[in-house]
Amino acid sequence: MQPISAVLPHDIHNEALVSNVHPPDWQNPEPASRYNLVVIGAGTAGLVTAAGAAGLGAKVALVERHLLGGDCLNVGCVPSKCIIRSSRVAADLCEAHQFGIRVPEGMGVDFPAVMERMRRLRARISVHDSARRFKDLGVDVFLGEGKFSGPDTLEVAGKTLRFKKAVIATGTRPVHPTIEGLAEVGFLTNETVFSLTEQPRRLAVIGGGPIGCELAQAFRRLGCEVTLFHNASHILNREDSDAADILQRSFIRDGIRLILNCKTKRVEKKNGSKVIHIECGGKEDEITVDEILAGAGRAPNVEGLNLEAVGVKYDKREGVQVNEYLQTTNPRIYAAGDICLKYKFTHTADATARIVIQNALFLGRKKQSALTIPWCTYTDPEIAHVGMYERDAQEKGIAVDTFIRPLSDVDRAIADGEEEGFVKIHVRKGTDEILGATIVARHAGEMLSEITLAMVGHLGLGTLSNVIHPYPTQAEAIKQAADAYNRTRLTPFIKGLFTRWFTWAR
Ligand SMILES: Cc1cc2nc3c(=O)[nH]c(=O)nc-3n(C[C@H](O)[C@H](O)[C@H](O)COP(=O)(O)OP(=O)(O)OC[C@H]3O[C@@H](n4cnc5c(N)ncnc54)[C@H](O)[C@@H]3O)c2cc1C
C-alpha cells in the first residue's frame, strides 16, 4: 500500500483528488451492530456493490485502505485515457499536412501541461467516487486496511465490523518483473507513471499487453523515444494477429522501436542512464533509456486479508477462487472485480458487482458465465473484441462463418483518412447467430456495442442488416458485414427461382 503522501505531485488537483477519495480529516463511523454486507476494497467492484446494496436498503460498510475509486480512477483508465487524448491531438497535428492543414512553426508538446490536464480532469471525475458521496448514499465508509478476524467479522482501523455477508473486491497491483538489476535501477509502474511531471526523453516499456501498448503509444506521441519489449511474436497476443499487425504497423509509423521475442537479461545504471541488456536470436544487444515502465501483468491483492482464517481459497497468481455465482469457498463471502476475474476490466468489475448484490442479498442465482464481455484497447487504431475468436470456436468444435469488411471499403473511413482497420464477425456456420467479433478502427470501442447488444439480445447478423445506419459512418462496416451474410442466403437454388419469376414477370 502506498501512503496518501505518495499521490504526487502535491498540487491543487491532487489535493482535490485526495480530499474526495481519502479525505485527510475523515472520521470512521461507529460500526453498526451488524451489517448485511461488508465490502473490502473501494475500486469499481466495491463501489458499485456498496452503492447498489445501500440503494436497496441494506446496511453496508465499505472498507478502503488507500484511495476510493481504486485503479480505474486513480492510476488506470481515467489518467491513461486523459493522456491518450492529448497524444491523439499531437498525432493529428503531426499528420495535419495530409489533410491540407498547415500547422504553424513551433508546434510542440508541453508535457507538464498534458499531465496537469490529466490531474485536473481526474480530480473532477473523483467527485463520483468520493467518500462523502458514498456516506450520503447511506454507506458506512471506513478508511483503513481490512482483515478478516473471525467467521463473521472484519477488523479495520481498530474497529470490528460484523457481517452477514462480505465481498472481497481488493483488486490487483502491477507485477514487478524479475529482471536482474531492475529493482536496483528503479522503474515506473501504473502506480507511479501518472505522477510524472517531466518527460523522460527515452522510455522503455516492458510488456506489450493492453496497458503497455496504450502507454507506449501515448508517450511516443507525446515526444518520448519509446522502445517496447514484448516476449511474443506480436503485441497484444490475446488478439488475432491480423488485428495486432495493423497496430504494429501504426506503432512503427509512430516511431516506436519494437523488440519482440527477445530475452531481457539484466538492467544496470551507467552514466545516469538505465541500460537494458537483451538477447535476440543468439545475439546480445543493449538499449539505453532514461526510464523503464513495467506493464507486465497484474498480481491479485490477496495478502494480509487473513483469508485462511475464513476458509477462502485463493491462488497468488489467479486471485480468489469463486464459483459461477461469485461465491468463494466460504458461502458467506463473495468476490467481485479483478481479484477473482480472468477479464480484468472496469466494466466487468461493475457487472460482477451487480451479480454479487443479487446473489449475496437476495438468494439470486445469477451466473458470471452468462455475461457477454466486450473489451477494447485504446490505442490508435483501437482494437475492440467481444465473444469468441475463431480459435475459441475451433477449440470448442464449433464451425463458423466469418464476415470481414475492411475499412478501406467504407466511405466515411476513406473520408476520415482512417482506412486501416476492419470489422470481423463470426457466426455459427449456416446460421446468423453471432458468436464473436473484432473491430479495428479509430473508435472501435464505440462501434462494438452494437454487436454486443445484438449478442445479448439474441439478434442475428441478419437483423443488423435491417438496421439503418446513418450515412456516412464507420459503423456502416458492421452493416456491410451483415449484408455479406445476407448474400449467402441467396443460394443457387433460390437465385434460380428468382430468375424464373423475373422471366415470367417480364
Ligand atoms: C493503466 C491501466 C489502464 C486501464 N484502463 C482500463 C480501461 O480503459 N478500461 C477498463 O475497463 N479497464 C481498464 N483498466 C483495468 C481497471 O482499472 C480494473 O479492471 C478495475 O480498476 C478493477 O476494479 P476493482 O474494483 O476490481 O479493483 P481495484 O480498482 O484495484 O480496487 C481495489 C481496491 O481495493 C483496495 N484494497 C486492497 N486490499 C485492501 C484491504 N486489505 N483493505 C482495504 N482495501 C483494500 C485497493 O486499495 C483498491 O482501492 C486499466 C488498468 C490499468 C492499470
> Ligand 1 center to residue 323 CA distance, Å?
21
What pLDDT is stored for residue 203 in this prediction?
Answer: 98
What pLDDT is stored for residue 1 in this prediction?
Answer: 53
DSSP code of residue 309: G
> Ligand 1 center to residue 48 CA distance, Å?
13
Q: Nearest to residue 219, comparing CAs of 114, 97, 376? A: 114
Q: How confident is the model at residue 160 (pLDDT cuts 50, 70, 90)?
A: very high
What pLDDT is stored for residue 106 in this prediction?
Answer: 80
> Ligand 1 center to residue 191 CA distance, Å?
11
Tell me: pLDDT of 197 over 90. Answer: yes
Whole-prediction pTM value? 0.96
Q: How confident is the model at residue 364 (pLDDT cuts 50, 70, 90)?
A: confident
Average pLDDT over residues 134-161: 97
Note the pLDDT tens digit of each residue in 245-281.
Answer: 999 999 999 999 999 999 999 999 999 999 999 999 8
Average pLDDT over residues 333-337: 98
> Ligand 1 center to residue 77 CA distance, Å?
9
What pLDDT is stored for residue 281 in this prediction?
Answer: 87
Q: Nearest to residue 464, comparing CAs of 494, 490, 486? A: 486
Note the pLDDT tens digit of each residue in 394-450.
Answer: 999 999 999 999 999 999 999 999 999 999 999 999 999 999 999 999 999 999 999
Give 126-181 as a DSSP string: GGGG-HHHHHHTT-EEEES--EEEETTEEEETTEEEEEEEEEE---EEE-----BT
Average pLDDT over residues 100-114: 93
Report the alpha-carbon distance of residue 166 to residue 62 in Å, rounded: 10
> Ligand 1 center to residue 133 CA distance, Å?
19
Average pLDDT, the chain: 96
> Ligand 1 center to residue 168 CA distance, Å?
12
Distance of CA 319 to the CA centre of its chain: 18
Report the alpha-carbon distance of residue 310 to residue 151 in Å, rounded: 6
Looking from the CA of residue 337, the nearest atom of ligand 1 is 26
Tell me: pLDDT of 3 over 80. Answer: no
Let me know: does 367 contact 69? Beta carbons within 8 Å. no
Cβ–ligand 1 contact at 41 (below 6 Å): yes
Strands 35-40 and 60-64: parallel
Average pLDDT over residues 496-506: 92
Looking from the CA of residue 341, the nearest atom of ligand 1 is 26
Looking from the CA of residue 44, the nearest atom of ligand 1 is 25
**Which of 126, 346, 378 to probe ligand 1 with, by most ligand atoms within 8 A of CB?**
346
Residue spans of beta strands (DSSP E) within 169-256:
172-174, 202-206, 225-230
Cβ–ligand 1 contact at 305 (below 6 Å): yes
Give me the percent of the chain exceeding a pLDDT of 90: 95
Cβ–ligand 1 contact at 203 (below 6 Å): no
Note the pLDDT tens digit of each residue in 424-440.
Answer: 999 999 999 999 999 99
What pLDDT is stored for residue 298 in this prediction?
Answer: 97
Report the alpha-carbon distance of residue 292 to residue 7 in Å, rounded: 20
Cβ–ligand 1 contact at 65 (below 6 Å): yes
Note the pLDDT tens digit of each residue in 271-313.
Answer: 999 999 999 988 999 999 999 999 989 999 999 999 999 999 9
